[in-house]
Amino acid sequence: MFHQRFGRVASTSLLLCAFLPSVFGQASIYGSLSGRVTDPSGAAVAGAAVTVTETSTQVERETATDASGRYSFPRLRPGVYRLLVSTQGFQATSVTGINIAVNAAPFADVKLDLGAVTETVEVTAMTQSVQTEGAHLSLLMDANRIADLPLNGRDFADLTLLSPGFGAPEPFEGKMTASVSGGRGRFNGYNLDGMTNSDERTGSGGSLAGGAANLTTTAPNVISTEAIREFRVISANADATFGRGSGGQINIITKSGSNSLHGSLYHYLRNDKLDARNFFNYGPFFNDKGEAVPPPFKQNLFGGSIGGPIVKNKHFFFGNYEGFRQRLQQTGTFTAPNRDLIELMPGNLGEFYRAFYLDRGVVTGTTSPGQFVPLTAAQRQAAVGAGFTPSLFDGNPANGEAGTLVLSTAPTVNVDQDAFLVRTDHYFSDRLQANLRYGWAGPSQTTSVGLPIDLRDTGQFWQSGAAEVVYTIAPNQILEVRGGVLRSKWEQLPAGGVTAAFTNVGVSERFGVIVQPQATPLTRTELLGVAGFSDRQTTPQFAAMHSWTKGALTLRTGADATFFGVDINNGAGRPVYNFNGFVGPTGMLGPGPGATQAIAASASASLFGFGGSPDTAVRNFGSHRQEYFAQADWKATRTLTLNLGVRYSYFGVYRETNNAISNLYAVDNTGNPVAGVSPFAFGRAANDLFPATSSLPLYQATRNNFQPRIGAAWNVGGRNRTVLRGGYGLFNDRLYQLMFSAQGGLVNNPPFTLSTSAPNVPFILREQLPLNTPVPSVTGIDPTIRDPRVHRVNATIEQSLDSATTISASFVGTYGRRLFGSEEVNGGAQTPLAARPDPRFTVQRLIGNTSSSDYNSLQIFANRRLQDGLTFTAAYTYADFKDDSSTEVFATFTGLVNRTADPAPGFQGGDWAPRPRSADWGDSSGRIAHTLTFSQVWELPFGRGRRFMQTASPAAEATLGGWSVSGIGTWRAGNQVNLALGTDANDDGDPRDRPGLLGGSLDDLYQRGGDKTQFLIPQSQASRILGAPTPINDPFAAVPRNVLAGPSVFNYDLSVAKRFYLNERANLRFEANLFNVFNNAKLSSPSASVASALFGRITSTVFGSTPRQIQLGLRLAF
């Protein structure tokens, strides 16, 4: 079905392209050049011949000035150009050194002197440092910065974080999902040579992330830095040529060949001998002196590139290969039960934990290995009161003590990756040019799951091909047409499967198991089954853009058609058991010593193959996207430029090819489903599950996504020194596949899947597939869901300090409305069935337009392009970022209040009312209140081609010449911390309640002095300040969401490089990169559950951060 739909839409697109060429277009990846030609008196010179030549290829473009003396080249690929202007009665004037960058629109006014046309005046371009033509905020990363700044694993995406406005990424997702100026990170757009390179299943730039990039942030990107000419990060108010989403736009341009042969060979290496140990490395790696040492590690990054002419001045090629090999055991911590605690666990749960921890030697005793932490006083009192042996709960481990161990772990992260990219450029005539580009990468990983002895294998595949044809219709009209395909694959399986030690205690070999000990400090325990996970995507794209210039007006019109094919196996079929604390009816130890089996507070599981569907979770989804735009840039006066645009986006509805998923629909009085209305439109229970088909779609497409974009830039006084800019843009986002497939999602719905979630389930693994209940859980998409709307505004003043340096100050505001969220509308997972509003179902999760956000920030940015051997950036952002939910995946919120809740133990009441969303309004999880980043590349002024010692002897040049010092620094405030009570005090079935403030202030929770890993006061003290809110059923009585902030972070990466010149065209560069050179431990947020003995304690570093690491590199360039 996807292929049939693809064919229909592709045919329509081709017809539009044939008959309406001025309507098609895509994201702009080129620059432009314009200006005005005058005589000595300042009068316009009409009809002058203007020729622009790219110096590396000698490819020329020609035009003529109009009656007002204006000329324009609306489409120039990034590069360095020479401009020649000539006309009868004047000397020809040549302007050299004009740099055209991606999405840049510099101008070059030319004044002609009287004289013979055979005489030529040579002029060096006065480089324009301020942005006078557009309202967007952006950062350009050119080839010098990409090549010289220190990058761990040479991943160019690290440089995007130097742009102002970048906030915190999605948890455990890394920089690809960082929030950009208040947008949700999964709506960032990554474009490679004008074609999409974003992961259409997860909504992120994940298709770019290679190897272990999401685990350690040090594996290379599948796009090598050697293959990138430059890229631009647009962090606010992209014009109408950009679409797909409301986040940042990262526009990447690959290198091309030129008339001269050029290339490189390089090798970068790291190993554990050069690295410092992790701050939390309690073991297991010790040297023979008993000292903690870094775990084993080796990493090699190597490759080369070459580019040059096929036919000079006509046809060119470029190619790059890069290999990566990593063998790593990365230190971290987890919390396990000690031997005494495990021995108290009843029945099958005790068998499972003994097999997991004791039989494999992970836990050996009461206080070993690792750091022993006793249970809280309240937990010990509860155990003694329940009849457990008092000596095991007296806080004294000398005579045995049931407690926990904070263990150091070194999970395996082994990565192999090979990648290559080739590109050819062809100039068939002055009117017709084309280019072809193909990239391939095949990362594979072996990584740990929870513990270093549980491994899983991940195979990935990335393939991107694109073709572009550019036709000059007239000197002032250009048509660009592009097409391409992005393909990716991601498969994950357990290495060696589930062993007999676990199948003997009942673990399913196919599905594995997850045990989540809630309201305890214990790390969740999981085993991956052989059903595994897979994700295969195919994304064809067709696009074109027509540019037309008339005097002071440039008009670009166009559209983009993209198709998504996503084959996914993500049924989340593993049984999940949730326990509530240690002692109690649903605690891990049971209500007392006499328990025969542990009772889980809730459990869920899935089985597939019902209703004619596949007996696996594999589903085949398809959708498409069509976007149309018009963008007018009008130089209204000599100093004022207006940017006026509109974009229309149509996001097609996702559909499963075999109609093997279902949704929750309202039913009429005859029992038939009604499309396009809320499932509760005719009553709380007037709904049911039906297969989604073409006549009964999952939801209705939003058809009014018109997005105006307006901006203005005022070049004060026309001197290119001070510019005032401002803009407004409306952006629409769309559903992506992960939203309804995370943790199983729609694939787990009846009638195709038996997916149940039940409270009070005995932990007897052999008997729990399926769970002994006929009542299903359901995940649904509200059929009335609409595409979110995000309003962006900015106002900027930019000042030129000299010919190379500018500084700007901006107000940036972003306001999200009808954002996506996932709401539990039938009570939380631990709600008894009889107390649910609709007892036909257990959990009901409904994806809809539930959320809003407000972002207001001050962004200050200083930028110096390379001049006199120095280039730098410095960005400071203060952000006030509020929302009621910060993500649309892997997070749900309860939508109901239990009006008859009671603080007494056990579930009480069941009189439900809607929970106001404003009760969760607070600081966004993506907020970083203060961020300062800076970078510099400084070529020391000694040696060949530099200020001093230009004619130094070979010996002096070899020792003192060719040195450079580069660095990237970051200081930012801590991530937001959300306080949790750790129990379901308000009887809504959700144990994630926030506490109330019993006394004092929230500032009293911060620890003053002492061990820096005890960031907040200990649990014993916090329990006197925080407790169950009063009244218990008032959602506004709890402390606000994300009310605290974690520790701040500072990092500086340093690179020292020495270049040896071998001859006029070749040089050898040696560099030493010192990442986190000061070895600062970047501590993560503390445990924030009041029920946990680890409350306030930090047990790990920030995800993706590292201790000091040293990378050595050698690069030959010619």
pLDDT of residue 906 exceeding 70 = yes
Give the pairing of strands 618-635 and 553-569.
antiparallel
pLDDT of residue 171 exceeding 90 = no
> What is 23-124's CATH superfamily?
Carboxypeptidase-like, regulatory domain (2.60.40.1120)
How far apart are the C-alpha atoms of 582 and 586, rounded to whole Å? Answer: 8
At 769, list the tokens: 């597939």
How far apart are the C-alpha atoms of 888 and 430, rounded to whole Å? Answer: 50
In this predicted structure, which of 151-155, 281-285, 477-481, 881-885 has the lowest mean pLDDT?
281-285
Mean pLDDT across the stretch 477-506? 88
- Higher-confidence residue of 124 and 706: namely 706
**pTM, rounded to two decimals:** 0.87
At 222, list the tokens: 């599948």
Angle 837-839-842 from CA coordinates, rounded to 5°: 95
Q: pLDDT band for position 120 (50/70/90)?
A: confident
What pLDDT sits at residue 453? 58
First CA to last CA distance, the chain: 51
Amino acid in position 661: I
What pLDDT sits at residue 124? 76
What values do phi and psi take at 157, rounded to 5? -65, -20
Mean pLDDT across the stretch 651-656? 96
What pLDDT sits at residue 5? 45
Tell me if the domain spanning 413-583+604-661+698-1117 has CATH number 1.10.620.20. Answer: no
How far apart are the C-alpha atoms of 830 and 320, rounded to whole Å? Answer: 55
Using the structure block, give the residue that is written with the tokens 């946990």: 1092
The gap from C-alpha 110 to its chain's centroid, in whole angstroms, comes to 45
Q: pLDDT band for position 272 (50/70/90)?
A: confident
Convert the pLDDT of each residue in 311-360 to its tens digit: 999 999 999 999 999 887 766 678 999 999 999 999 999 999 999 999 98
In this predicted structure, which of 814-828, 882-896, 1035-1049 has the lowest mean pLDDT?
882-896
Using the structure block, give the residue that is written with the tokens 């007037």: 686
Q: Is there a contact between 918 and 885 (Cβ–Cβ < 8 Å)? A: no
For the chain, give the mean pLDDT.
88
pLDDT of residue 205 exceeding 80 = no
How far apart are the C-alpha atoms of 337 and 522, rounded to whole Å? Answer: 7
| DSSP track, 366-433 | SS-SSEEEEPPHHHHHHHHHTT--GGGGSS-GGG---EEEEEEE--BEEEEEEEEEEEEEEE-SSSEE
H/E element, 520 = none
Q: pLDDT band for position 495 (50/70/90)?
A: confident
Q: pLDDT band for position 209 (50/70/90)?
A: low
Helix (H, G, I), strand (E, B) or coil at 974: coil
Share of the chain above pLDDT 90, in %: 62
In this predicted structure, which of 466-475, 600-609, 702-711, 792-801 has the lowest mean pLDDT?
600-609
Q: pLDDT band for position 677 (50/70/90)?
A: very high
Domain boundaries, the chain: 23-124, 162-262, 332-409, 413-583+604-661+698-1117
Handedness of CA 1104, 373, 335, 742 (dihedral sign): negative
How far apart are the C-alpha atoms of 581 and 375, rounded to whole Å? Answer: 11
Mean pLDDT across the stretch 293-316? 91
Amino acid in position 861: F
The secondary structure of 357-372, three-state, reads HHCCCCCCCCCCCCEE
Convert the pLDDT of each residue in 370-391 to its tens digit: 889 999 999 999 999 999 999 9
Q: Is there a contact between 828 and 518 (Cβ–Cβ < 8 Å)? A: no
Mean pLDDT across the stretch 508-536? 86
How far apart are the C-alpha atoms of 34 and 478, rounded to whole Å? Answer: 15
Mean pLDDT across the stretch 401-414? 83
pLDDT of residue 69 exceeding 60 = yes
Q: pLDDT band for position 4 (50/70/90)?
A: very low
Please give the DSSP secondary-structure letter assigned to residue 590.
B
How far apart are the C-alpha atoms of 418 and 423, rounded to whole Å? Answer: 17
Mean pLDDT across the stretch 111-134? 79
Q: Is there a contact between 567 and 36 (Cβ–Cβ < 8 Å)? A: no
- Residue 1051's Cβ-side half-sphere holds a number of Cα atoms within 13 Å equal to 25
Convert the pLDDT of each residue in 451-461 to its tens digit: 555 777 888 88
Convert the pLDDT of each residue in 806-820 to its tens digit: 999 999 999 999 999
- Higher-confidence residue of 848 and 510: namely 848
Amino acid in position 535: D
Q: pLDDT band for position 285 (50/70/90)?
A: low
Domain pair 23-124 / 413-583+604-661+698-1117, same fold: no
Convert the pLDDT of each residue in 217-258 to its tens digit: 445 688 999 999 999 999 988 899 988 889 899 999 999 999
Residues 6+ positions from 618 with CB-CB distance below 8 Å: 534, 567, 568, 569
What pLDDT sits at residue 570? 79
- Higher-confidence residue of 608 and 170: namely 608
pLDDT of residue 1006 exceeding 90 = yes
Cis amide prior to 369 (ω within 30 degrees) = yes
pLDDT of residue 791 exceeding 90 = yes
- Higher-confidence residue of 575 and 1088: namely 1088
Angle 220-224-227 from CA coordinates, rounded to 5°: 175
Helix (H, G, I), strand (E, B) or coil at 143: helix
- Residue 969's Cβ-side half-sphere holds a number of Cα atoms within 13 Å equal to 13
Residue 759's alpha-carbon distances to 576, 777, 842, in angstroms, are: 12, 12, 9
pLDDT of residue 16 exceeding 60 = no
- Higher-confidence residue of 642 and 206: namely 642
pLDDT of residue 9 exceeding 50 = no
Mean pLDDT across the stretch 655-664? 94
Closest CA to 917 of 881, 883, 884: 884
